[in-house]
């Protein structure tokens, strides 16, 4: 996003998102996928712990704003 585009979006009170936010969201989604894979491979062992981690990852994505 150019400086002009950013200023226009800010003036119109539109939400702006940086490239870093997108990278963080993608990384959180990747980690969630890995967590789900570990849960599946473990045949449900530690399911409560895995579920808690997935909830935290989902909440982190929501806080970032996706």
In a domain, 44, yes or no: yes
- The phi and psi torsions of 47 (rounded to 5 degrees) equal -60, -35
Q: Provide the domain count of the chain.
A: 1
Residues 55, 16: contact at Cβ < 8 Å?
A: no
In a domain, 12, yes or no: no
Q: Domain range holding 50?
A: 17-64
Residue labelled with tokens 């849960």: 39
Q: Which distant-in-sequence residues (6+ apart) come within 8 Å of 1 by Cβ? A: 9, 16
- More reliable by pLDDT, 45 or 58: 58
In a domain, 26, yes or no: yes
In a domain, 42, yes or no: yes
Q: What is the pTM of this model?
A: 0.56
Q: 17-54: per-residue pLDDT in tens? A: 666 777 888 888 898 888 888 888 888 778 888 888 88
What pLDDT is stored for residue 1 in this prediction?
65
In a domain, 35, yes or no: yes
In a domain, 8, yes or no: no
What pLDDT is stored for residue 17 in this prediction?
65
């Amino acid at each position: 996003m150019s400086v002009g585009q950013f200023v226009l979006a800010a003036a119109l009170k539109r939400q702006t998102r940086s490239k870093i936010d997108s990278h963080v969201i993608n990384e959180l989604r990747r980690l969630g996928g890995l967590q789900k894979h570990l849960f599946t491979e473990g045949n449900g062992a530690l399911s409560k712990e895995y579920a808690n981690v997935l909830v935290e990852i989902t909440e982190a994505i929501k806080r970032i704003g996706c």
